[in-house]
Structure 1
């Protein structure tokens, strides 16, 4: 995962969300704190973390390195879950499958919080399993999950998934009590962020209700975007559901993985039917369950093939003979443990079969089976390699502000006036200030750092008209759809920008980079015989 994450990490350009991370994280801590009171509170902890990271070296590669490291950690945690819930080779397969999944690789190369949230959520799930088995405290689970929710508040949906896992495992009252206390602390700690972020809900006003196609697209992203890999993984995942219900008081692989994959996305999609909040990256952490289901299904198939070769006889394995005692050290013999609630005092009377050596089936214990799974995953990687390669292209992101900045550096000269339409396109100049060095931002009243905003505070509509009216030419960095009239801004300042450009200027040369255009506007030539104060005739207003 780390190697794939480093491959093509320097794309030569940030897209708009990465640019926000880059320019906000380079502000001072008081300036970041001021910003969070008005916008982006949900990313506050991440911005503070990246402030420390970019303090070492402010560059695009360093911006993405935490996500690469987090994705590698997530792959390792997925492997640890598979090894703990089933056996080591299932962990190996699941971890490798996570590493080669294009969706995981995509967010491993983004300077945003989602890969870190995935690592925290997977770590919390592992701590849940260990706490149920008696190997760790609920305190560690609560701390990790609490920090993860502060990285992004929608990680709180993981509590619903874990509750379903505990219900499927039919755990006892003591486990429910421990989990309930940890969940309650996480919920209380998250209340301040929820209250602040609700007041900032206008930031997600652009979202729309998810559909069945949305759900299908997410499933394909989890299992593999290419048909061959998708259908193979889907079949194995369905087979992996065989063990969704296990022994009372014990979590199974399917019982942990299925709720992790289904519950957070389904809950957010249902809520989004009333108040749209769903974006696939918000539930990236649910991806961790998919490789576990697929690997568990592959293990079940391997066991079924082995039983067929043995004439239908089940061959007991070491893992099958292990008891449910959390104090079990993994040896075959059952040692008395007076402190263990599972010890009924009859260990001395139990059959000595547990202390006898057990021979595993030739297929199930063969290293060739493990290598066969690794080979299959290698073939899946080769099959999806074109997708992974194309994802390193900056054009695969919603926009490429690096390319826009290179156009501006080539065209805009010191002293030239620049107008950003809408205000969000100023992100280019904030992320790449060198490209606009010496240019005059005619719409800016206060910088973002001073005003506590993402893109700066702009002058009013009338002030803007007066500033632009006296110009002979102005460079406009604009959203192409806005200039084409495909959507209309609600802000009176943005409407004033469009109006003054239409009334007094005509477009000249243009350089287009994705959804953003850099266009020169020159003053409209005076119409012969017109008196001052009169608008030119309609035929000349184009």
Structure 2
């Protein structure tokens, strides 16, 4: 992911939103603070972060480097999720699939906050899986809270983690721990929501999403061409067969499916009342797609491995052909007077002393 991100990073030009990032981040901190009272409060933490980055060396490449590093981190976190929820081989496949996704590569080279939000959301999901097993939720709450301050729509990740808990059939103790963490995240985000709501005129250009919008997002997550899309869709469907696992244990499909579906669906539904949906706002949902595809590929590979192993071990008698021959057991040689009897083993002869016979010489 890092190699793909830095390839062609200097495009000799910024698009509109990148130019805004560059101009705002080069202002002083008091100037940025005053600006956020009127516009772009939702990107305030990102602008302050980029202010520190551009202080080192202002330029187009440096502007995009944090996004490149965040995308590389996200690919590693996707791999870690796959390794924890399935096995290391599936994690490797999931991380590589994320790295070669055109959608991930596009936002890895953009000087905006979306790649960083994806990294934070994927990291929070990994901490979510760990917290279900350990009962410690503070790291999850901290990471998700910071991610929501990078972009407030990351809070929709809570709506994805709730059905993941339901599919894992966890107990009341886990629900209480998660509920406290979710409440803390929402409480921390309230000031951001109040300020950004007053600035909603900035997104007045958005339109209501349609079924074509949803299909386009699914296409972006699963494959750029018809062949790749079809294969990934089939493998993802196979991966869904393990959506419900043992009680109290989250499964790969049980975590990845809500992550892929719930945040975009929730934002699209809300946008039927007040248009807010843009695919980059829910870029972090992309992490669910390679996990599902890798889980399906792992199931297929495991089934093929078992089939081949059975084919090598078990002789099969076909109709019209004799059954495979079975070698007879070799009888033990008869004892002779004056010498010990012996038992023949494969490659060895073990002397056995019988009553009335002398022991063999050393």
**Is TM more than 0.5 here?**
yes
Aligned to 1:68: 68
Matched, 1:189 2:188: yes
Aligned to 1:307: 306
How far, CA to CA, are the matches of 2:136 and 2:153 in structure 1? 24
Aligned to 2:274: 275
Deviation digits for residues 213-244 of structure 1 (CA, Å, limit 9, x no counterpart):
00010001001111111111111001000000
Structure 1 unaligned residues grouped into runs of 5+ = 313-542
Aligned to 1:265: 264
Aligned to 2:39: 39
Instruction: For residue 310 of structure 1, report the CA deviation from its aligned partner.
Output: 4.0
Deviation digits for residues 370-402 of structure 1 (CA, Å, limit 9, x no counterpart):
xxxxxxxxxxxxxxxxxxxxxxxxxxxxxxxxx
Deviation digits for residues 20-64 of structure 1 (CA, Å, limit 9, x no counterpart):
000000000000000000100000000000000000011000000
Aligned to 2:197: 198
Aligned to 1:132: 132
How far, CA to CA, are the matches of 1:26 and 1:192 in structure 2? 25
Matched, 1:178 2:173: no
Aligned to 2:317: none
Instruction: For residue 155 of structure 1, report the CA deviation from its aligned partner.
Output: 0.3
How far, CA to CA, are the matches of 2:309 and 2:102 in structure 1? 38
Instruction: For residue 309 of structure 1, report the CA deviation from its aligned partner.
Output: 2.5
Superposition CA RMSD, Å: 1.1
Runs of 4 or more, structure 1, over 6 Å off, are none
Aligned to 1:58: 58
Aligned to 1:385: none
SS class of match (1:133): helix
SS class of match (1:283): helix
SS class of match (2:274): coil
Deviation digits for residues 248-273 of structure 1 (CA, Å, limit 9, x no counterpart):
10000000000000000000000001
How far, CA to CA, are the matches of 1:33 and 1:168 in structure 2? 43
Aligned to 2:155: 156
SS class of match (1:58): coil
Aligned to 1:82: 82
How far, CA to CA, are the matches of 2:234 and 2:30 in structure 1? 52
How far, CA to CA, are the matches of 2:278 and 2:236 in structure 1? 24
Structure 2 unaligned residues grouped into runs of 5+ = 312-362
Instruction: For residue 208 of structure 1, report the CA deviation from its aligned partner.
Output: 0.2
Aligned to 1:109: 109
How far, CA to CA, are the matches of 2:255 and 2:125 in structure 1? 8
Instruction: For residue 308 of structure 1, report the CA deviation from its aligned partner.
Output: 2.3
How far, CA to CA, are the matches of 1:133 and 1:186 in structure 2? 20
Matched, 1:48 2:55: no
How far, CA to CA, are the matches of 2:227 and 2:23 in structure 1? 41
Instruction: For residue 304 of structure 1, report the CA deviation from its aligned partner.
Output: 1.6
How far, CA to CA, are the matches of 1:87 and 1:129 in structure 2? 14
How far, CA to CA, are the matches of 2:224 and 2:301 in structure 1? 25
How far, CA to CA, are the matches of 2:133 and 2:298 in structure 1? 22
How far, CA to CA, are the matches of 1:32 and 1:254 in structure 2? 42
Aligned to 2:356: none
Aligned to 1:91: 91
The count of aligned residue pairs is 312
Matched, 1:208 2:207: yes
How far, CA to CA, are the matches of 1:8 and 1:262 in structure 2? 32
Aligned to 2:123: 123
Matched, 1:24 2:24: yes
How far, CA to CA, are the matches of 1:27 and 1:268 in structure 2? 33
Instruction: For residue 302 of structure 1, report the CA deviation from its aligned partner.
Output: 1.0
Deviates more, 1:277-286 or 1:222-231: 222-231
How far, CA to CA, are the matches of 1:76 and 1:267 in structure 2? 27
How far, CA to CA, are the matches of 1:281 and 1:77 in structure 2? 19
Deviates more, 1:230-239 or 1:69-78: 230-239
How far, CA to CA, are the matches of 2:307 and 2:84 in structure 1? 26
Structure showing greater radius of gyration is: 2
Matched, 1:246 2:242: no
Instruction: For residue 307 of structure 1, report the CA deviation from its aligned partner.
Output: 2.8
How far, CA to CA, are the matches of 2:136 and 2:46 in structure 1? 26
Instruction: For residue 311 of structure 1, report the CA deviation from its aligned partner.
Output: 4.1
Aligned to 1:450: none
Deviation digits for residues 473-527 of structure 1 (CA, Å, limit 9, x no counterpart):
xxxxxxxxxxxxxxxxxxxxxxxxxxxxxxxxxxxxxxxxxxxxxxxxxxxxxxx
How far, CA to CA, are the matches of 1:262 and 1:168 in structure 2? 14
TM-score (norm. length: structure 1): 0.57
How far, CA to CA, are the matches of 2:104 and 2:71 in structure 1? 7
Aligned to 2:354: none
How far, CA to CA, are the matches of 1:22 and 1:231 in structure 2? 40
How far, CA to CA, are the matches of 2:308 and 2:55 in structure 1? 61
Deviation digits for residues 290-333 of structure 1 (CA, Å, limit 9, x no counterpart):
00000000001112212323449xxxxxxxxxxxxxxxxxxxxx
How far, CA to CA, are the matches of 2:94 and 2:182 in structure 1? 27
Within a 5 Å distance, the mapping from 1:338-487 to structure 2 comes to none
How far, CA to CA, are the matches of 1:87 and 1:168 in structure 2? 20
